Amino acid sequence: MKKIGVLTSGGDAPGMNAAIRATVRTARYFGMQVYGIERGWEGLITGQITELENRSVSDIIQRGGTFLKTARCAEFMTYEGQKKGSMTLDAYGIEGLVVIGGDGTFHGAKALSDNFGVKCMGIPGTIDNDLAYTDYTLGFDTAVNTVLSAINNLRDTMQSHDRVSLIEVMGRHCGDIALYSGLAGGAEYILIPERPYDLDEIASSLIKSKLRGKTSNMIVLAEGAGNRDEIVAYLNENAGVDIKITHLGHVQRGGSPTMSDRILATRCAVKAVEMLKDDSSVSSAIGIKGNEIIAVPFEEAFNCKRTFNDDLYEAARILSK
């Protein structure tokens, strides 16, 4: 393979720039030409493409976001959209792609590969950590550390005022950001989509904790686990507390990637380029299992069942007593 493209698609995640950088430099090391496609699948359809050289990706390893920009593109979910994308690739002579993003991005890559024979390697880039075939996704570690820093700050003020705090973090279907940041931040309650919770139990536990002389408590809520205003209204009413709400929002998506995210991004990108270079490879999702970088055909990656980390959840429950 002589010419490859790289794009980022869907929600941005810290570590995407490190992955682009490693893709470009590894490919050029192997004598390939590399094209940066801006704004994900949208840029592939409309031809927003520039050739990248080693210096094009200088000084980005430490930056959050993605210098190639990103978008969510409904048109690319259609056969017609994919056809336009494949025609752009033909026009540039691009034979394979490295795509960095989440589940939606990978479905686009699989469709492009199945319908138009374009070999695609997917690098998991999403703060949610919701892709079952890989232990971790790019951006997750950074996002958890961002949340952790917010929890640390909140604890200072909650402690000083004897208050209860609820912090809502991202994660529509996956509670990993809430679970990991809650456990590492010493939260008393972690509410996630994967496990049911009982507001009456929480209310009575808050009352008991006040009677024991414990006046400040931290609740971490994953956005997909319930409506923050309703939860807080119910607990205020039934536990006689005045919970302060922090909605962290998109702050979690930015920031300089941690060492772990940079290394994961780099290792995945090297593997992705090596796979594209290898004529016998098939379109695959790249990831990490244990400490090993893996490549799994997209179909197999989609069929993997997510395993929830019950040990961590149980540890958080025990330690909150």
Binding site for ligand F6P (CB under 6 A): 11, 102, 126-128, 170-172, 223, 253
Selecting among 12, 128, 176, 261, the annotated active-site residue is 128
- Residue 26 phi/psi, 5° resolution? -70, -45
Confirm whether 128 is a catalytic residue.
Answer: yes
Considering the complex, state which of residue 128 and residue 261 has its C-beta at the smaller distance from ligand F6P: 128
Q: Report whether 220 contacts 210 (CB < 8 A).
A: no
The CB-of-15 to ligand F6P minimum distance in angstroms stands at: 13
Considering the complex, state which of residue 126 and residue 165 has its C-beta at the smaller distance from ligand F6P: 126
The CB-of-172 to ligand F6P minimum distance in angstroms stands at: 4
Considering the complex, state which of residue 245 and residue 282 has its C-beta at the smaller distance from ligand F6P: 245
The CB-of-192 to ligand F6P minimum distance in angstroms stands at: 13
Spatial strand order in the sheet of 164-169: 189-191, 217-222, 164-169, 244-247
The CB-of-202 to ligand F6P minimum distance in angstroms stands at: 23
- Residue 114 phi/psi, 5° resolution? -65, -45
Considering the complex, state which of residue 47 and residue 193 has its C-beta at the smaller distance from ligand F6P: 193
Q: Which residues are catalytic?
A: 128
